[in-house]
Amino acid sequence: MVLHALTSGTVIALIFALSPKGFAGDTDTARNYLSTIVSCLSTILALCISITLVAIQLTATRYTHRVLDLFLKLPFNISLILFYFVTIIQSLFLLSRIQEPIRETLPGYLQPQMTADMILVLFCFAILIAYLYAVMQLLKPERIVAEIERECRYAILRKRDREALDKVEQICDIAKRAAGDMDSSTGLVAIRALEKVASEGSRAPRASVTKQFVEIAVIAAKEREGGMLGSVMAALYALGSEALASGRMQDARDVIHAYERIVRTALVGQRLIPFVEEAVAAMFRLTGRAVHGQAQTVTKEHALFAQKTFHAVRKIGEEVLASEEDGETFVARSILSAAFGKFLRSLEQIAPLLPEGLWPVYLDYGTLAKRLIGKAELSDLAPVTTWLRSDLGSCAGGSDKGRCPLAIAVMVCALSHAAGRQEAQRLLVHAVASVAPLSPDVVSDMSENYRLWRPLFDFADPRPHLQAAASAWGDYRKLGRIGVDSTSIRPEP
C-alpha cells in the first residue's frame, strides 16, 4: 500500500507540475465542466464502493469473513481514493477560483490547472478499471485461499502458532463450504493449500490440518463429492509419508487415525467401497514405508506403528463386514490376502523389535478372518486361498520365510473347524496343502502358545481345532506326500 501511495502521489505531482495551457474554453464552460466532474466522480466513487462492498459481503457469506480483511488491504484502494479525492477537491477549488463574468476568457493562470484537472479525470477512469479488475481477482476463491495461505506460512515462519491455527481454520472453513456446495474446484485449491501448510512449521498446525481433513472428508462423503474425497485421501498419504521420512511418528499415527475415522464415520455403509479400499491401501503402503522404506533407521517405534496400523485396518474390516452388502468380498480381497501378505513379509524382518512378536498381528488377522468365515460364501474366500497358495508355493524349498503364512493358514483352518465350516476348511486345505507340508515347528509353536490365541475361540482351548486342522492337512498330504504327525498335539486336560 505504501508503494501504491507513493506512486500515485508522484503521478499526481507530475501532472500538476507539467500540465500545459490546454484548456481553451470560457468561464461558463469551465464552471459547467467542473460542476459536472464533481457530481460525476462523486457518484461513480459512491456506486463503486457500494457495489464492491455488496460483492465482498456475498463472497464472505459463501467462503470466509476474511474476504473483508483482504479487501481492506488491497493496495488499489489507496490509489483509487487518492486520485478521486484529489480530482474532486481540485475541481471544487478551481470552481471557487473562477470569479470572472459569464462567457469571459478563462484567466491564463487557471488554464494549466484546468488541463491538470482534465488529465486527472482520465486517470480516475483508468484507475477505476484497474481497481475493478483487482477486486474481481480478489473475489476469486483461489486468490482468497492463496492470500490466507501466505499469511499462515508467514505466521509459521514467525512461530506464531495461535495465528497460524486461526488461518488454518479459515482455509478449512472454505473447504467445508465448498464441499457442502459441491464446488470441487474451490475445495481442491483449499486442500492443496492445507497440505502445503502442514508440511511446514510446528506440530500444532500439522495436527490441526490432519484433524480438519477428517471433517472435510465427512462432508465430501455426505455430498458424494468424489473429487474432494479422493484429494483428502491423497493429501493424508502425502502427510504420512513425509512424517515417516522425517521421523515424526506422532504425525504418522495421526494420519492413520484420520484414515480410520474417515472410513468408519463417513464411508462405511454409504456404498463408497472404492474409497474405503483406497484408504486401506494407503494405510498398508504407509506401514511398508515404516518397516521397509526406512530400513536403515528402523526402530521399535516403527514396528509398533505398523502393528497398530493393522489393528486399525482390522477395525475397518469389521465395520465393512457389518455394514456393507459386498463386505465379505472386499475384506477377503483387500485386507486378508495379498496386501496382508506383503505387509507380513515386511514385518517378519523386524519381528524381534516387537515386545510380543507377531502374535498381536496374528490375533488381529484371526479376529477378522473369524468374522469373515462366519458369513462369507466359499467364493469370497478365494482371494485368501490364492494368496496363501502363492506365498507358500514360493517358499516350498524349506525357507523359514514361509513360516508366517503357514501359521496363518493353520489358524484359518482351525477357525473354520471351530465355526463348523468344514467346506471352508476343505477349500483352504486343498488349496495350500498341495504346495506346502505342514511344518512340525509351526504346529508346535502354535500349540505351545495356545493361550495367546484363545480369544479367537471364545477363550476355549484352541488345540482340538488345531489338531483337526493338522489332521485334515495330513490326510490330504497322504495322497502323495508325507504330512505332520497330528497325534503329537494334545488338548489341555
Give pLDDT, residue 438.
Answer: 84
Exposed / middle / buried, residue 55 (Cβ in 10 Å: 0-12, 13-18, 19+): middle
CB 481 within 8 A of CB 437: yes
To the nearest 10 degrees (0 to 180), the angle between helices 226-246 and 184-198 is 10
Give pLDDT, residue 266.
Answer: 92
Under the banding of pLDDT at 50, 70 and 90, the label for residue 234 is: very high
Q: What is the mean pLDDT of the chain?
A: 86
Three-class HEC string of the chain: CHHHHHHHHHHHHHHHHHCCCCCCCEHHHHHHHHHHHHHHHHHHHHHHHHHHHHHHHHHHHHCCCHHHHHHHCCCHHHHHHHHHHHHHHHHHHHHHHCCCCCCCECCCCCHHHHHHHHHHHHHHHHHHHHHHHHHHHHCCHHHHHHHHHHHHHHHHHCCCHHHHHHHHHHHHHHHHHHHHCCCHHHHHHHHHHHHHHHCCCCHHHHHHHHHHHHHHHHHHHHCCCHHHHHHHHHHHHHHHHHHHHHCCHHHHHHHHHHHHHHHHHHHCCCCCHHHHHHHHHHHHHHHHHHHHHCHHHCCHHHHHHHHHHHHHHHHHHHHHHHHCCCHHHHHHHHHCCHHHHHHHHHHHCCHHHCCCCCHHHHHHHHHHHHHHHHHCCHHHHHHHHHHHHHHHHHCCCCCHHHHHHHHHHHHHHHHHHHCCCHHHHHHHHHHHCCCCCCCHHHHHHHHHCHHHHHHHHCCCCCHHHHHHHHHHHHHHHCCCCCCCCHHHCCCCC
Give pLDDT, residue 293.
Answer: 57
Most confident among 22-36, 92-106, 153-167 (mean pLDDT) = 153-167
For the stretch 449-473, pLDDT in tens is 888 889 999 899 999 999 998 888 8
Give pLDDT, residue 486.
Answer: 41
**108 has pLDDT over 70:** yes
Give pLDDT, residue 493.
Answer: 41
CB 291 within 8 A of CB 345: no
Q: For the residues 19-45, what does the mean pLDDT come to? A: 84
Cα Rg of the chain (Å, integer): 37
For the stretch 62-86, pLDDT in tens is 887 778 888 888 888 899 999 999 9
CB 273 within 8 A of CB 326: yes
Under the banding of pLDDT at 50, 70 and 90, the label for residue 100 is: low
Among 478, 476, 473, 296, smallest CA distance to 486 is for 473
Give pLDDT, residue 395.
Answer: 63
For the stretch 327-340, pLDDT in tens is 999 999 999 999 99
Give pLDDT, residue 297.
Answer: 74
Give pLDDT, residue 86.
Answer: 93
Q: For the residues 38-44, what does the mean pLDDT come to? A: 92
* Residue 311 in grid coordinates: 489393528
**480 has pLDDT over 80:** no
CB 275 within 8 A of CB 234: no
CA distances from 354 to 258, 332, 359 (A): 24, 26, 10
Q: For the residues 293-302, what does the mean pLDDT come to? A: 71
Neighbouring residues of 444: CB distance < 8 A, sequence distance ≥ 6: 488
For the stretch 377-430, pLDDT in tens is 888 899 999 998 888 877 654 445 557 888 899 999 999 999 999 898 888 888
For the stretch 338-366, pLDDT in tens is 999 999 888 888 888 888 888 899 999 99
Under the banding of pLDDT at 50, 70 and 90, the label for residue 103 is: low
Under the banding of pLDDT at 50, 70 and 90, the label for residue 317 is: very high
Integer Cα distance of 116 and 18 in angstroms: 8
Under the banding of pLDDT at 50, 70 and 90, the label for residue 22 is: low
**481 has pLDDT over 90:** no
Under the banding of pLDDT at 50, 70 and 90, the label for residue 296 is: low
Among 371, 370, 316, smallest CA distance to 339 is for 316
Q: For the residues 78-106, what does the mean pLDDT come to? A: 84
346, HSE (Cβ side, Cα atoms, 13 Å): 26
Among 97-111, 176-190, 448-462, 473-487, name the one with the lowest average pLDDT.
473-487
Length of the chain: 493
Q: What are phi and psi of 22, to 5 degrees?
A: -110, -10
CB 454 within 8 A of CB 462: yes
Under the banding of pLDDT at 50, 70 and 90, the label for residue 101 is: low
Share of the chain above pLDDT 70, in %: 92
* Residue 386 in grid coordinates: 490364492
Q: For the residues 116-132, what does the mean pLDDT come to? A: 91
Integer Cα distance of 309 and 315 in angstroms: 10
Give pLDDT, residue 333.
Answer: 93
Neighbouring residues of 218: CB distance < 8 A, sequence distance ≥ 6: 262, 265, 266
CB 140 within 8 A of CB 53: no
Integer Cα distance of 415 and 409 in angstroms: 10
